[in-house]
Amino acid sequence: MPNPITGFSKLTKSQKIEWLLETYFTEKETARSLVQNYWNTDQKLQKLHDEFIENTITNYYLPLGVAPNFSINEKLYAIPMAIEESSVVAAASKAAKFWLNRGGFKAEVISTEKIGQVHFIYDGNFEELKSFFETIKPQLIRATEAITKNMQRRGGGISDIELRDKSNDLNNYYQLHATFETLDAMGANFINSCLEQFATTFKSEAKRLLKGELDIVMSILSNYVPNCLVRAEVSCPVLDLKSKDIPNPELFAQKFKQAINIAEIESYRAVTHNKGIMNGIDAVVLATGNDFRAVEAGVHAYASKSGKYSSLTHCTIDDGIFKFWMEIPLALGTVGGLTSLHPLVKFSMELLQKPSAKDLMKVVAVAGLAQNFAAVKSLTTTGIQEGHMKMHLMNILNQFEATETEKQKLIQHFKTNVVTHSSVVEAIEEIRK
């Protein structure tokens, strides 16, 4: 068993790698070569990557793909997607092409409110606390002027602060619940700085004016932003759904709607259903340097807002019109963070025609809706495995180190045969005989 190490963070990158190789690897030279092969040959660029996080030893690459032909509010986009899963980019592209001549995607930002909270414990009388808060509220906002002046100049800042009584849920627990407008910034650092100043001022004045004991527990933004909403939708006459793989559009529309209805009421299905939506959303969020973990957490919380986890997407068929849509919370930024640092993030932003935060919300929501449309369309027609496994074929071939000649023969073979892992293995073994 390896011994613990002290001072690991103070070692150089080379020293860190050597310690890891000596401690955990039997094939040390193979591991060393792998780590070094993923370094960027441009030393300045590698240094930039090294400083994004702590204890960096190498780079971990994900493919950056592009899904073209997205018509969003009558503007054409090619959407960048960073993801490792086969068939995601292909499915998004196929959905984009399907809707291109059926009116395209419509998207609108409904609201952009973001949230932060100061959590505190107070053992005194609530009415006294409430009176104190109403007195001190203007001072809380004034105390943040140095932090908010630049944001206010651009039209953002603190929207409001509320005192919330949560003592029925947890003894003596209360919140300062603050709302913010952060414009094109995701705003995490801005919000947290404001919250910490609120806490400092609130605590200081409480000592002077309140009888009870007040203790600040923590001050932190929330990644649940139910009032930072974007809506994306597609619609067309049911008969216009007819295509090569939808010979009977009325039947398709009904089965599609039934599949959505099932995801609305069955949580086991809804989780997988929404995971497919996040395939599209996360890929664009990651490509544009935003926080996909925050987005995931907020979106899944929103899917449970009724008290039961449910589908994020919805479908109706009224008067011969098929409509498919969703509303989701997305807190995104196009300035700050990695957006001005990571070269491929800058590339992705330029590819998207340098969007504002609201524009990016629309693009990301549309990518999620497109992904879900493609998945449900496959499920209710050919089945999910036909397309997915054909896209997965190359991964299996690479796993078995197939040569280019073998790949060409097997790709041709599986144009008319079902792709499964075992069938690919059998075909490779047959060729190699």
How far is residue 327's CA from residue 287's CA, in Å, rounded to a whole number? 22
CATH 3.90.770.10 in the chain, residues?
64-108+233-382
**Active site (annotated) includes residue 134:** no
Q: What's the pLDDT score for residue 391?
A: 63
Give the CA distances from residue 281 to residues 190, 338, 372, 418, in Å, rounded to whole numbers and listed in that order: 24, 18, 10, 30
* CATH code matching the domain that covers 114-222, chosen among 3.40.640.10, 3.40.50.2300, 3.30.70.420, 3.40.50.2000: 3.30.70.420
| Catalytic-role residue among 196, 205, 233, 291 | 291
Q: Are 234 and 321 in contact (CB under 8 A)?
A: no
Tokens of 418: 């079902």
**Active site (annotated) includes residue 291:** yes
Q: Has residue 273 got a pLDDT over 90? A: yes
- Place 392 in a pLDDT band, splitting at 50, 70 and 90: low
| Catalytic-role residue among 137, 275, 390, 409 | 275
Q: How do residues 302-320 score in pLDDT, each as one tens digit?
A: 999 999 999 999 999 999 9
Q: How do residues 24-65 score in pLDDT, each as one tens digit?
A: 999 999 999 999 999 999 999 999 999 999 999 999 999 999
**Active site (annotated) includes residue 128:** no
Domain 64-108+233-382 is in which class?
alpha beta
**Active site (annotated) includes residue 354:** no
| Catalytic-role residue among 119, 257, 342, 388 | 388
CATH 3.30.70.420 in the chain, residues?
114-222
Q: What's the whole-number average pLDDT of the chain? A: 94
| Catalytic-role residue among 85, 108, 250, 266 | 85
Measured from the Cβ of residue 278, the count of other Cβ atoms closer than 10 Å reads: 20
Task: Classify residue 237 by its DSSP letter.
Answer: E
Long-range Cβ contact pairs of 200-209 (< 8 A, separation 24 or more): 200/143, 201/136, 201/139, 201/140, 201/143, 202/118, 202/120, 202/136, 202/140, 202/176, 205/132, 205/136, 205/139, 206/132, 209/132, 209/135, 209/136
Buried/exposed 245-262: b ≥16 CB within 10 Å, e otherwise: ebeebeebbeebbebbee
Q: Any residues with CB less than 8 A from the CB of 295 and at least 6 apart, and which?
A: 223, 281, 282, 285, 330, 331, 332
